[in-house]
Amino acid sequence: MYKIIFCLLLLSSGACSQGPNNSPLKKASMSTNQNKYYSTTSKEKLILPDSVWKQVLSPEVYQIARLKGTERPFSSAFETSKEVGTFHCAACGNPLFKSTAKFESGCGWPSFFEPITKGSIIYLPDNSHGMMRTEVECGKCKAHLGHVFEDGPPPTGLRYCINGVVLSLEK
């Protein structure tokens, strides 16, 4: 019930709409190409001022990763993608999820049942929109990724509901 209400709130707000030709795959590659802080191998925490993030991220990635926005449901090419590889944070390159942990939940966003490592994700309480949820952030740069829910498949029973805009895929 909460998922339906949340989706309706997001759709009616129009705050997270995207242009018709701006695919998440294109957005992620745009942000990683111009971002000198993007690294898939560095494990160092990345703490940058907001002014720098605004310069190195595409407007779409910045809106979600730094301002805790949400992309429109069912708008991410990653939601139904079956491509094999590793999903990284589009802001910093931190490895987040393996494609083997991805599943189709039907919630409108790419879903995973476990992160690559315990440290790749940070968990925070989120009581916005009149709901009690758990927000997930990138463990390296603290980019907002989405939320985790306890209605996922085995073996974890978790569903990491992630904005595709803040993901990049290394095949």
**CATH number of residue 37's parent domain:** 2.170.150.20
| Residue 32 binned pLDDT confidence (cut-offs 50, 70, 90) | low
- Calpha distance 112→158 (Å, rounded): 8
13 located within any domain: no
Look up 16 and say whether it is catalytic.
Answer: no
Sign of CA dihedral 43, 86, 126, 16: positive
* Structural domain includes residue 9: no
The total of structural domains in the chain comes to 1
Residue 4 falls inside a structural domain: no
Q: Which of 16, 107, 141, 161 is catalytic?
A: 161
Residue 3 lies inside a defined structural domain of this protein: no
- Answering whether pTM is above 0.85, one says no
Tell me which residue range forms the domain holding 132.
Answer: 23-170
Cα 100 from chain centroid?
A: 17
Tens digit of pLDDT for each residue in 77-123?
Answer: 999 999 999 999 999 999 999 999 999 999 999 999 999 999 999 99
Q: Is residue 66 part of a domain?
A: yes
Please report whether residue 58 resides in a domain: yes
What pLDDT band is residue 152 in, cutting at 50, 70 and 90?
very high
